[in-house]
Amino acid sequence: MTDQTEVEVPLEGASAPAVAPEVQQEDAEADSQEGSQASSEQGPEESEDDGPSADEQLLEMTADLQRLQAEFLNYKRRVDRDRALIAENATYKVLQPIIEVLDTIDRAREHGELDGGFKAVAEQLERIVTGLGLTKFGAPGDVFDPTIHEALSHIGEDPDVEVTTAKVVAKAGYKINDRVVRAAQVLVVDPVSA
């Protein structure tokens, strides 16, 4: 009897013997089992298609964390700045109407009508607004500065001054920190022209 698993059939132009289909299937199964055993023995290999390596992922995550930290710090600074601005604006809105009361107190003081219990109340009010950051400015003889003075009138020339100067202060000016609440209202004089 002949072996059924191997049948030699000569092909034209082929020097290798032909193999029966059953044998080809068995060989293919054996090859695939050997290939899977070989790949499991080699261990997992990283290919370029698997994605970034652990070091690259670490660097990327570190950069992301640094960006988030910077964003948070910027946010915190912005919130702190906004809170300070809101507090300053609230102080400004509260103290602005009180300036007229302080003007009335100054006029009463100039005329000698500030005495007794009213004097104590006026002094306490002035201490409180000063504690909140309201400062008074503008005095006769100050150099005229249009950013903090409002010139009500020009009253001529004065040989005693070298630059435009506030000669008379009609109403004092007030600031909260560097912010002008009200400009000092003044009458100005110029130096004598040559």
Question: What tens digit of pLDDT does each residue of 57-110 get?
Answer: 999 999 999 999 999 999 999 999 999 999 989 999 999 999 999 999 988 988
Query: What range does the domain containing 93 cover?
Result: 57-132
Regarding whether 152 and 128 lie in a shared domain, the answer is: no
Asked, for residue 156, whether it belongs to a domain, the answer is yes
Interval 105-130: pLDDT, tens: 988 988 888 788 888 999 999 999 99
Asked, for residue 190, whether it belongs to a domain, the answer is yes
Q: At what angle do helices 117-131 and 54-110 cross, to 10 degrees?
A: 160
- Helix, strand, or coil here: 148? coil
Domain boundary among 107, 132, 157: 132
Q: Mean pLDDT in the chain?
A: 81
Q: Bridge partners of 184? A: 149
Asked, for residue 61, whether it belongs to a domain, the answer is yes
pTM: 0.59
d(CA 27, CA 33): 10
pLDDT recorded at residue 24: 55
Regarding whether 161 and 112 lie in a shared domain, the answer is: no
Regarding whether 147 and 114 lie in a shared domain, the answer is: no
> Which token pair is 39?
């790949």
d(CA 121, CA 105): 10
Asked, for residue 108, whether it belongs to a domain, the answer is yes
- In which band, very low, low, confident or very high, does the pLDDT at 158 lie, cut at 50, 70 and 90? confident
Regarding whether 81 and 122 lie in a shared domain, the answer is: yes
Burial class (CB in 10 A: 0-12, 13-18, 19+), 76: exposed
Regarding whether 121 and 137 lie in a shared domain, the answer is: no
Asked, for residue 106, whether it belongs to a domain, the answer is yes
Regarding whether 187 and 151 lie in a shared domain, the answer is: yes
